[in-house]
Amino acid sequence: MTDRVQKQYEAMRDHFRQTAGQRGFTLDPAQESPVERLSRLAGELAHPAWRLRRPPRHLYLWGPVGRGKSWLVDTFLDALPTPRKRRLHFHDFFRRLHDGVAQHADGRAADGSAVDRAVDELLGDSRILVFDEFHAHDAGDAMLVARLFRALLDRRITLVTTSNYPPAGLMPDPLYHHLFEPTIRLIEERMDVLDVSGPVDFRRQPRSEGAHGFDLGARLHPGDEASAGLTPPRPEEAGRVPAHHRELPARAVRDDLVWFGFEELCEGLTSVADYLVLADIFPAIVLDGVPPLSEASPDGRRRFANLVDVCCDRDVPLTLIGADPLAGLPADSTLMRDLDRTASRLALLRQPTA
């Protein structure tokens, strides 16, 4: 190991420990291996790209919600001296990829070259890409995700991916899992897979700086709006708001929030791309008429989970008014396991009392 590589490796390890100390915690034993591997990667990236025969190996960090995966990669990127680095969340990246592929396909079916051109535009001259919260649930997008991963792994870019699922757990629907098995094998062959499954859920630890962003949202029963400083929508506040290539009907449009009903936003034909636009435009989102998810349609449950994901990832306060979304779901049910990440994020929302 050269002096330059050693210095960058040691600097990165020190940065992880100092940052953890500043946040008031020590590294969990399950985080030690990722910290070591990311520090070694920082050292490897200290070499000029032209001196390396091939880029450093790709990394796939997986583990349950709240184990600090995003904190690990954010801390890593923060201390990495190269400007040729990018961090993209899966939802945001996939929205941009869809738009780019559609632009380059010229009305034809999206082929590999259209995906390649769209990926090139998204990545520019990046040398290191962090792809956060990767998952594969939608069978309709399975082939595009497969092309995307091959396109990323075939470039001279080191890919660091976080996920709540081990590679073999991607595309869990047994009807479609076999379609994704070639991509799973590609991940296992081309990436170092690291398990971050420690016992500590860091998202449930007290925050010294208090609540902010997504944590300022709430879960309310109907009639309890005043306890969260909300007033119900008035008829004159209703309107249509811009989303992704469409407008959506809102029950109230205010300077500090937008208010939707569950039927319109989750049971209607909306998408993650719509939620991303809403999160970009509005400081907060309110969703009323929330039912127990056991009574919602499968598509409604999926859209609700995606809305929670987008608001949490964009740190936008989300207030839910209605029933407990998880009421009546047995803890060991398949549906509850599918909603594990959603449950963890809902637990962050306040439950004010009148």
Q: Which residues of 3-27 are buried (b: 16+ CB within 10 A; e: fewer)?
A: eebeebbebbbebbeebbeebeeeb
Confidence of residue 73 (pLDDT cuts 50, 70, 90): very high
Distance of alpha carbon 283 from the chain centroid: 19
pLDDT at 18 over 70: yes
Q: What is the pLDDT of residues 144-191, one digit of tens each?
A: 778 778 887 888 889 999 988 899 988 877 888 888 899 999 999 999
pLDDT at 262 over 50: yes
Q: What are phi and psi of 168, to 5 degrees?
A: -65, -15
CA R_g for the chain: 21
**What pLDDT, on the 0 to 100 scale, is given for residue 200?**
61
pLDDT at 107 over 60: no
Q: Which two tokens stand for residue 86?
A: 């990018």
**What pLDDT, on the 0 to 100 scale, is given for residue 296?**
92
Other CB atoms within a 10 A radius of the CB of residue 323 amount to: 19
Q: Rounded to whole angstroms, how far apart are CA atoms 59 and 194? A: 7
Question: Are the C-beta atoms of 61 and 196 separated by less than 8 Å?
Answer: yes
Q: What is the mean pLDDT of residues 38-61?
A: 85
Which residue do the tokens 């010294």 mark?
208
Q: Rounded to whole angstroms, how far apart are CA atoms 104 and 88? A: 21
**Residue % of the chain over a pLDDT of 70:** 89
Question: Are the C-beta atoms of 67 and 126 separated by less than 8 Å?
Answer: no
Q: What is the pLDDT of residues 303-331, one digit of tens each?
A: 999 899 888 878 899 999 999 998 877 77
Other CB atoms within a 10 A radius of the CB of residue 187 amount to: 23
pLDDT at 208 over 50: no
**What pLDDT, on the 0 to 100 scale, is given for residue 152?**
79
Q: Assign 321 to helix, strand or coil.
A: strand
Q: Rounded to whole angstroms, how far apart are CA atoms 169 and 354? A: 42
Q: What is the pTM of this model?
A: 0.70
Question: Are the C-beta atoms of 131 and 159 separated by less than 8 Å?
Answer: yes
Q: What is the pLDDT of residues 263-310, one digit of tens each?
A: 999 999 898 889 988 998 999 999 999 999 989 998 899 899 989 988
**Residue % of the chain over a pLDDT of 90:** 39
Task: Identify the H or E element spanning 314.
Answer: helix 298-314
